[in-house]
């Protein structure tokens, strides 16, 4: 039994014998006192006050009296309503460091709490390259999958690539008309960017067409909704794009050939982007393969009276119970919409892969959509509808405001990493520290630093909230940043290498008594609990915060004490090396949960 579990059990017993109140050990909540001088761990007696019918202060006094003298407890005191406990450190060090220096502490939940998770994330459209919004999605989906896997769940990472629809037809049309036969091969341009160029071309040509259309009609000022709708109905370009979509849906061979060719360009580009970001998937689905699936679900729902047909011919799902207007599921012309496809998609997913829970990593602007989707699935009688979760994350804004593709203010994912790598390379070369490293290794370190900078920057903020992406701040390597954490790790690895020791924790630790050492011990001891909490809250940012706190705690220790230089007692050096190596292992684990690489040298 671990030191913490033992302590919880003693407290549980003391409550039982002292007040005849039952609190299971796993519900004994141990916290850190605000000041280490009070003790190592604290137990707040407030929640017991009611059941014990006693003031928290009295409960603390009584518990302190009963715990006095337990082996391994060096001090027990009641400070007001708190029970503060000081532990015998040597055995605690041995347990905690031994755990980190072996396989790492047990993070997995009890078997009965483990689940099969499907995590769907990324889900890009294949008409243009990925931008900062996708980057947040990719990082969050990846980190969430890692986190759930770390606590023992079985995780399947799923990507659904939206490779069909009107948006691709716009890129296709522009490429046909103005692409001049450009290909990734004959231009050297990355495929997704090349296709994106055509999409941009389409948008600007369409804007020009609308301007001309308005001029012909003598319309001035900003377009009203009605005018805009009228233009869209009459637009030659949009009409041509729609014709392409119809031809695609009819299976036109020429259209499919072009579509396949351009999609392949994009997908090849995406593969590079994903690799560079350290993102991968267990299953990749393509919208083009499953887009028809939803229709039969809707027809069955119609037959069973869950849905109804409107006079115009459209099929809708009534939603009075949510206080909402009926949701259209099939247009009056019989074609499917987004919701229809998502219905089919969910049903297919459940049939094909099965799951205890499925998590959709999608921006907060689609909260309404998912609420309605889950509700309709429930109405269709799928009991697993209650096991679907929309992991809703906030938007990424820039110092200049919201990203707008129309105004060209989107931050491209590849450009972003290019710039970060450039900045990291500059710093690395200016520092001249690693001039001895071969170029290939320097290149790799530069990539790892850049990735750490952007990943940590994005992952350290609460996913639910909108966030500000400040390019200036993101290339900073000091302070609460990914590179700072990598650096702390690399320093530790360097120390361990230089020590010539290979600590495994199988030793005594009676010489580690400095406050900074004890702080590290406590941080390491409580780390597994924090990870489980982060997983339960679906919050990778919590892992980022805890990992940073550990690194800062280490820096404080390292600044105050020598590890082996000027340490006369070789036993103290060996004990400190073991401590430091355990911190290194924990930093690596924390960064790994965030998908951030941990180079041995920087």
Partner RNA sequence: GCUCCCGUAGCUCAGUGGAUAGAGCGUCGGUCUCCGGAACCGAGUGCGUAGGUUCGAUUCCUACCGGGAGCACCA
User: Which CB atom, from 253 or from 436, has the smaller least distance to RNA?
Assistant: 436
The token pair that represents 201 in the structure block: 């071309």
Q: What angle do CA 131, 132, 137 make, to 5 degrees?
A: 100
Please check whether residue 48 is in contact with residue 21, taking contact to mean a CB–CB distance below 8 angstroms: yes
| Nearest by Cα to 59 from 21, 6, 10 | 21
State yes or no: residue 464 binds RNA (CB under 7 A): yes
User: Which CB atom, from 79 or from 592, has the smaller least distance to RNA?
Assistant: 79
Q: From 187-195, 211-219, 428-436, 582-590, give the range in contact with RNA by CB under 7 A.
A: 428-436
State yes or no: residue 76 binds RNA (CB under 7 A): no
Residue 406 burial class via C-beta count within 10 angstroms: exposed 0-12, middle 13-18, buried 19 and up = exposed
Looking only at residues 38 through 57 of this chain, which bind RNA when binding is defined by CB under 7 A? 38, 42, 44, 46-47, 49, 56
Our measurement of the distance from residue 306's CA atom to the centroid of its chain's CA atoms, rounded to an integer in Å, reads: 36
Binding residue for RNA, selected from 71, 312, 438, 500, defined by CB under 7 A: 312
State yes or no: residue 368 binds RNA (CB under 7 A): yes
* List of long-range contacts for 61-68, beta carbons under 8 Å, 24+ apart: 62/14, 62/18, 62/19, 63/11, 63/14, 63/15, 63/18, 66/14, 66/17, 66/18, 67/10, 67/11, 67/14
Longest dimension (CA), the chain: 94
Q: How many residues does the chain have?
A: 602
User: Which CB atom, from 356 or from 407, has the smaller least distance to RNA?
Assistant: 407
Binding residue for RNA, selected from 6, 57, 58, 366, defined by CB under 7 A: 366
Please check whether residue 23 is in contact with residue 15, taking contact to mean a CB–CB distance below 8 angstroms: yes
Nearest approach in angstroms of CB 185 to RNA is 29
Q: How far apart are CA 4 and CA 41, in angstroms?
A: 10
State yes or no: residue 325 binds RNA (CB under 7 A): yes
Pairing of strands 283-286, 154-161: parallel
3-state secondary structure of 600: coil
Nearest approach in angstroms of CB 161 to RNA is 11
Nearest approach in angstroms of CB 116 to RNA is 27
Binding residue for RNA, selected from 217, 426, 498, 571, defined by CB under 7 A: 498
User: Which CB atom, from 339 or from 524, has the smaller least distance to RNA?
Assistant: 339
State yes or no: residue 125 binds RNA (CB under 7 A): yes
User: Which CB atom, from 183 or from 395, has the smaller least distance to RNA?
Assistant: 395
User: Which CB atom, from 35 or from 439, has the smaller least distance to RNA?
Assistant: 35
Nearest approach in angstroms of CB 341 to RNA is 7
Binding residue for RNA, selected from 466, 502, 514, 569, defined by CB under 7 A: 466
Q: How far apart are CA 55 and CA 34, in angstroms?
A: 22
State yes or no: residue 24 binds RNA (CB under 7 A): no
Looking only at residues 528 through 587 of this chain, which bind RNA when binding is defined by CB under 7 A? 539, 541-542, 545, 548, 552, 555-556, 558-565
Residue 308: its H or E element:
strand 308-309
Nearest approach in angstroms of CB 145 to RNA is 20
Residue 560: its H or E element:
helix 540-560
Looking only at residues 169 through 188 of this chain, which bind RNA when binding is defined by CB under 7 A? none
State yes or no: residue 233 binds RNA (CB under 7 A): no
Nearest approach in angstroms of CB 23 to RNA is 14
Residue 76: its H or E element:
strand 73-79
Number of Cβ within 10 Å of residue 23's Cβ equals: 19
Q: From 214-222, 263-271, 332-340, 380-388, give the range in contact with RNA by CB under 7 A.
A: 332-340
Helix locations, 278-412, DSSP H: 287-290, 294-303, 338-352, 367-379
Supply the DSSP symbol for 412: B
Residue 330: its H or E element:
strand 327-330
Pairing of strands 116-120, 357-363: parallel
Nearest approach in angstroms of CB 468 to RNA is 4
User: Which CB atom, from 179 or from 483, has the smaller least distance to RNA?
Assistant: 483
Please check whether residue 518 is in contact with residue 40, taking contact to mean a CB–CB distance below 8 angstroms: yes
Nearest approach in angstroms of CB 339 to RNA is 7
Residue 390: its H or E element:
strand 388-393
Nearest approach in angstroms of CB 496 to RNA is 9
3-state secondary structure of 401: strand
Residues in contact with RNA, counted by CB under 7 A, come to a total of: 94
State yes or no: residue 320 binds RNA (CB under 7 A): no
User: Which CB atom, from 182 or from 501, has the smaller least distance to RNA?
Assistant: 501
Binding residue for RNA, selected from 495, 521, 531, 550, defined by CB under 7 A: 495
User: Which CB atom, from 412 or from 530, has the smaller least distance to RNA?
Assistant: 530
Looking only at residues 390 through 409 of this chain, which bind RNA when binding is defined by CB under 7 A? 394-395, 402
State yes or no: residue 150 binds RNA (CB under 7 A): no
Binding residue for RNA, selected from 355, 391, 456, 487, defined by CB under 7 A: 487
Q: From 17-25, 110-118, 312-320, 379-387, give the range in contact with RNA by CB under 7 A.
A: 312-320
State yes or no: residue 433 binds RNA (CB under 7 A): yes
State yes or no: residue 480 binds RNA (CB under 7 A): yes
The token pair that represents 154 in the structure block: 């079985």
Please check whether residue 510 is in contact with residue 90, taking contact to mean a CB–CB distance below 8 angstroms: yes
User: Which CB atom, from 48 or from 150, has the smaller least distance to RNA?
Assistant: 48
């Amino acid at each position: 039994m671990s030191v913490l579990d033992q302590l919880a059990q003693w407290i549980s017993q003391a409550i039982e014998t002292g007040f005849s109140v039952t609190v299971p050990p796993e519900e004994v909540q141990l916290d850190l006192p605000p000041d280490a001088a009070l003790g190592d761990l604290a137990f707040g007696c407030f929640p017991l006050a009611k059941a014990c019918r006693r003031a928290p202060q009295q409960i603390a006094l009584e518990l302190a009296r009963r715990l006095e003298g337990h082996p391994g407890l060096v001090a027990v005191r009641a400070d007001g309503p708190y029970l503060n406990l000081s532990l015998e450190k040597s055995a605690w060090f041995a347990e905690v460091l031994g755990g980190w220096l072996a396989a790492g502490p047990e993070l997995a939940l009890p078997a009965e709490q483990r689940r099969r998770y499907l995590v769907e994330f990324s889900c890009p459209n294949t008409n243009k390259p990925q931008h900062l919004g996708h980057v947040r999605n990719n990082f969050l989906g990846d980190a969430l999958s890692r986190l759930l896997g770390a606590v023992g769940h079985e995780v399947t990472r799923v990507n659904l690539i939206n490779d069909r629809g009107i948006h691709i037809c716009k890129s296709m049309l522009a490429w046909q008309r103005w692409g001049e036969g450009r290909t990734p091969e004959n231009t050297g341009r990355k495929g997704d960017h090349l296709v994106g160029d055509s999409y941009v071309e389409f948008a600007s040509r369409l804007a020009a067409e609308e301007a001309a259309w308005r001029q012909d009609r003598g319309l001035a000022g900003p377009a009203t909704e009605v005018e805009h709708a009228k233009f869209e109905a009459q637009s030659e370009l949009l009409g041509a794009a729609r014709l392409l979509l119809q031809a695609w849906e009819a299976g036109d061979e020429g259209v499919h050939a072009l579509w396949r060719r351009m999609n392949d360009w994009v997908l090849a580009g995406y593969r590079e982007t994903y690799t560079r970001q350290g993102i991968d998937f267990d299953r990749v689905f393509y919208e083009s393969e499953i887009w028809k699936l939803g229709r039969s679900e809707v027809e069955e729902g119609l037959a069973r009276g869950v849905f109804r047909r409107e006079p115009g011919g459209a099929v809708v799902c009534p939603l009075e119970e949510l206080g909402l207007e009926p949701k259209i599921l099939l247009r009056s012309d019989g074609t499917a919409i987004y919701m229809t496809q998502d219905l089919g998609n969910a049903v297919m997913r459940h049939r094909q892969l099965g799951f205890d829970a499925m998590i959709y990593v999608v921006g907060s602007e689609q909260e309404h959509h998912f609420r309605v989707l889950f509700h309709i699935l429930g109405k269709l009688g799928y009991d697993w509808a209650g096991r679907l979760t929309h992991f809703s994350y906030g938007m990424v804004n820039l110092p200049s405001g919201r990203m707008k593709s129309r105004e060209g203010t989107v931050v491209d994912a590849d450009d972003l990493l290019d710039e970060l790598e450039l900045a990291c390379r500059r710093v690395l070369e200016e520092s001249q520290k690693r001039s001895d490293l071969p170029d290939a290794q320097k290149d790799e370190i530069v990539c790892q630093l850049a990735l750490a900078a952007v990943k940590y920057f994005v992952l350290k903020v609460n996913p639910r909230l909108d966030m500000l992406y400040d390019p200036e701040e993101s290339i900073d390597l000091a302070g609460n940043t990914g590179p700072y954490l990598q650096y702390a790790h690399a320093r530790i690895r360097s120390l361990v290498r230089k020590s010539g020791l290979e600590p495994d924790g199988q030793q005594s630790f009676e010489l580690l008594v400095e406050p900074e050492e004890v702080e590290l011990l406590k941080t390491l001891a409580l780390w597994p609990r924090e990870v489980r909490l982060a997983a339960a809250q679906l919050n990778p940012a919590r892992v980022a915060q805890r990992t940073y706190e550990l690194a800062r705690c280490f820096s404080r220790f390292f600044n105050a004490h020598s590890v082996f230089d000027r340490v006369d007692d070789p036993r103290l050096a060996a004990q400190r090396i073991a401590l430091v190596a355990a911190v290194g292992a924990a930093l690596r684990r924390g960064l790994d949960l965030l998908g951030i690489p941990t180079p041995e040298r920087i």
